[in-house]
């Protein structure tokens, strides 16, 4: 088993009627990060939550809060998400006309800077901002909804990114349809952080679910 693999349960799949308890439960169950899928109903069709909810959840876990901003104008929101308690802020390459400046601002706020790529987005767009990045998030589904099926073509994309990154200390994270069935393949390709929603927040034991993904990733 690889102890270096980060498991980041996505609260998008949690029971929103008791969301604070759900965050505390996956923390106790062995989550490494808490993944926060922020959607604005414009960049993606769904609408989820914003800084007030993240701030309200912050006391329920001391684990890093991994905020994935699927929004059209992230620059207007970065300060608010940093203030709400996000430790990592990931923006979409497709939504940032001044990407270098956006990533620099995230770091200036004291957060780690992440860049997400939709399935159709080529990896060339990261070449000139690699030294601004702490994390690259490869979307293995089309963003906007939970519970989608993993796009297997993204395994080659992960491998290409791993080569492009070289020795830089940049985490490759994957998000979308991650289960124990495909965790091993994405980690073998170069990923070291796995976002899982439905595969964690189901059944009677979140701990067993997380352990199964972690074991498969080994």
Give the residue numbers marked as catalytic.
37, 175
Q: Checking DSSP bridges between strand 65-70 and strand 193-196, what pairing results, if any?
A: unpaired
How does DSSP assign 20-63, residue by residue? HHHHHHHHHHT-SSEEEEEEBSSSSS-B---HHHHHHHGGG--S
Cβ–Cβ under 8 Å, residues 194 and 218:
no
**What's the angle, vertex CA 132, arms to CA 128 and CA 138, rounded to 5?**
80
Distance CA 104, CA 96 (A): 12
What sign does the CA torsion over 118, 128, 159, 209 have?
negative
3 state DSSP class of 150? coil
CA dihedral 197, 202, 206, 208 (to 10 degrees): -110
Q: How far apart are CA 112 and CA 135, in angstroms?
A: 8
């Amino acid at each position: 088993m690889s102890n270096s693999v980060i498991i980041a349960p996505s609260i998008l799949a949690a029971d929103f009627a008791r969301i604070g308890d759900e965050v505390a439960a996956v923390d106790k169950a062995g989550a490494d990060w808490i993944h926060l899928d922020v959607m604005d109903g414009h960049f993606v069709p769904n609408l989820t939550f914003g800084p007030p909810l993240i701030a309200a959840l912050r006391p329920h876990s001391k684990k890093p809060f991994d905020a994935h901003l699927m929004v059209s104008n992230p620059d207007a929101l970065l300060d608010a998400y940093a203030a709400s308690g996000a430790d990592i802020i990931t923006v979409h390459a497709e939504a940032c006309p001044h990407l270098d400046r956006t990533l620099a601002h995230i770091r200036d706020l004291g957060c780690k800077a992440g860049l997400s790529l939709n399935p159709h987005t080529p990896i060339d767009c990261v070449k000139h901002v690699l030294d601004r990045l702490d994390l690259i998030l490869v979307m293995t589904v089309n963003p906007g909804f939970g519970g989608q099926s993993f796009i297997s073509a993204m395994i080659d994309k992960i491998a290409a990114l791993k080569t492009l990154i070289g020795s830089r200390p940049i985490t490759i994270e994957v998000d979308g349809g991650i289960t124990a069935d495909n965790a091993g393949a994405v980690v073998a390709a170069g990923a070291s952080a796995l976002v899982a929603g439905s595969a964690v927040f189901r059944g009677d034991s979140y701990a067993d679910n997380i352990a199964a993904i972690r074991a498969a990733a080994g």
